């Protein structure tokens, strides 16, 4: 599945389609260069899932927890991790296997810990305002 997004205003519709197309998936891995729009898409997904809290990047806290009509949602940013051991210390398994939505930025930092059934989302900037979002 692939989306061409030309303006950020299109993301709410893309987020709705992702949630509807993958209703049983709970762990989503977001790949893309710095500034590609990973956090922005995750914010749109959280809005589509009716998150009650303000969402933001968990760059320094590693994980943010949000309440939604769908239950708990966990948003991870592993950019600052130095080793997979840090994810163990965080208790990643409790999150990934909780049946809650888990949105993971920088999953390439923990390649050996990722669930085999996780959905991959690759975001590529094609212009300053356009993105290609490829889901596999």
* Sequence-separated (6 or more) residues with CB below 8 Å from residue 45: 15, 18, 19, 28, 101, 103
pLDDT of amino acid 59: 67
**pLDDT tens readout for residues 58-84:** 766 789 999 998 899 999 999 999 999
Average pLDDT of the segment spanning 6-20: 95
**pLDDT tens readout for residues 92-133:** 999 999 999 999 999 999 999 999 999 999 999 999 889 999
Domain coverage including residue 101: 2-135
pLDDT of amino acid 30: 97
Strands 119-125 and 131-135: antiparallel
**Token pair recorded at residue 81:** 């991790």
Q: What's the structural domain count of the chain?
A: 1
pLDDT of amino acid 51: 94
Domain with residue 32: its CATH number is 3.40.50.300
Checking if the pLDDT of 45 tops 70, the result is yes
């Amino acid at each position: 599945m692939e989306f061409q997004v030309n303006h950020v205003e299109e993301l709410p519709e893309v987020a709705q389609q992702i949630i509807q197309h993958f209703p049983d998936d709970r762990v989503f891995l977001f790949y893309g260069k710095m500034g590609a729009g990973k956090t922005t898409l995750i914010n749109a997904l959280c809005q589509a899932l009716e998150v009650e809290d303000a969402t933001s990047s968990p760059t320094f806290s590693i994980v943010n927890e949000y309440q939604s009509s769908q239950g708990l949602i966990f948003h991870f940013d592993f950019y600052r991790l130095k080793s997979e051991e840090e994810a163990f210390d965080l208790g990643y398994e409790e999150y990934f296997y909780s049946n809650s939505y888990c949105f993971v930025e920088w999953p390439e930092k923990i390649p050996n810990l990722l669930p085999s059934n996780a959905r991959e989302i690759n975001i590529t900037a094609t212009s300053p305002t356009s993105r290609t979002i490829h889901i596999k």
